A and B are shown apart, each in its own frame.
Chain A
Amino acid sequence: QVQLQESGPGLVKPSETLSLTCTVSGGDVSTDYWSWIRQPPGKGLEWIGNMYFRGRTNYNPSLKSRVTLSVDTSKNVFSLRLNSVTAADTAVYYCTRDNGGSLQNWFDPWGQGTLVTVSS
């Protein structure tokens, strides 16, 4: 059974870079697509982007200029970097596996989520 766990700083200063890692256990990061999703306080879910271990990535157009996703197969983790953060990037960040194909897709399982606050 695949389990995911996010880790990283809970507090980031404005204009700096948010960096999170998702550790995959019970599965292989090199066999699937993996996504990051976030939820700002009081708002809905927002897809950030996904990646495949061979370097194929897709980013939310609204975040594309600031986001980088990467994978480290030796550690079985995948990572998110979001630069030039503002208070609007304060959110609970989730990592999840991206399943399915061209007609149907679903996110499962999910990490427990980690709150990142952007504040000086």
Chain B
Amino acid sequence: SSELTQDPGVSVALGQTVRISCQGDNLRSNYASWYQHKPGQAPLLVIYGKNNRPSGIPDRFSGSTSGNTASLTITGAQAEDEADYYCNSRDISGYHYVFGTGTKVIVL
């Protein structure tokens, strides 16, 4: 299967750590990229590759992969981190992309 499955939602207390997972067979051969998406804004790349952050993304965002699961970790979540988060990767064919189902992160 080329689907990427994410938990629908998760809540985290301000300043605490939250991990968002993304499961899919295609992750065994391709790294995931992660996007933060807030209402009315364009998605924002936060992690790509093994664990790379674009310029301007705080170091509280980190990524990892184990087997068929990619994870995005926010260490010390801030109020502004409240958003939908999507993973993305190539599908099994390698020619197409697929997005995860998305995880809504609520910061309490």
B96: A residues at CB distance < 8 A:
47, 58-61
Give the residues from 32 to 62 in chain A that come closer than 8 angstroms, CB to CB, to chain B: 35, 37, 44-47, 50, 58-61
Give the residues from 96 to 113 in chain A that come closer than 8 angstroms, CB to CB, to chain B: 99-100, 102-108, 110-113
For the A-B complex, the count of residue pairs with Cβ-Cβ distances under 8 Å equals 70
Least Cβ distance of A22 to chain B in Å?
A: 12
Interface residue from A50, A59, A105 paired with B33 (Cβ < 8 Å): A105
Interface residue from A45, A103, A108, A113 paired with B86 (Cβ < 8 Å): A45
A94 close to chain B: CB less than 8 A: yes
Interface residues on B, range: 20 to 34
Are A45 and B99 closer than 8 Å at their CB atoms? Answer: yes
Are A111 and B48 closer than 8 Å at their CB atoms? Answer: no
A interface, over-half SS: strand
B45 close to chain A: CB less than 8 A: yes
Q: How many residues of A contact B (CB 8 A)?
A: 25
Using A45-B102, A100-B48 as known contacts, say yes or no to A107 and B90 having CB atoms under 8 A apart.
Answer: no
Are B35 and A104 closer than 8 Å at their CB atoms? Answer: no
Are B33 and A106 closer than 8 Å at their CB atoms? Answer: yes
In the bound complex, what is the Cα–Cα distance between A60 and B43 (angstroms)? 19
Least Cβ distance of A46 to chain B in Å?
A: 7
Closest B residue to A94 by CB, please name it.
Answer: B42
B99: A residues at CB distance < 8 A:
37, 44-47
Using A45-B102, A108-B54 as known contacts, say yes or no to A102 and B94 having CB atoms under 8 A apart.
Answer: yes
Interface residue from B31, B45, B95, B101 paired with A103 (Cβ < 8 Å): B31
Are B43 and A105 closer than 8 Å at their CB atoms? Answer: no
Mask: chain A, 79-120; 1 = CB below 8 Å from B; 0 = not? 000000000000000100001101111111011110000000
B12 close to chain A: CB less than 8 A: no
Are A45 and B48 closer than 8 Å at their CB atoms? Answer: no
Listed from nearest, the 9 A-B pairs whose CB atoms lie closest are A106-B48, A106-B33, A110-B42, A104-B49, A47-B97, A104-B31, A108-B45, A45-B99, A44-B102
Q: Which residues of A contact B (CB under 8 A)?
A: 35, 37, 44-47, 50, 58-61, 94, 99-100, 102-108, 110-113
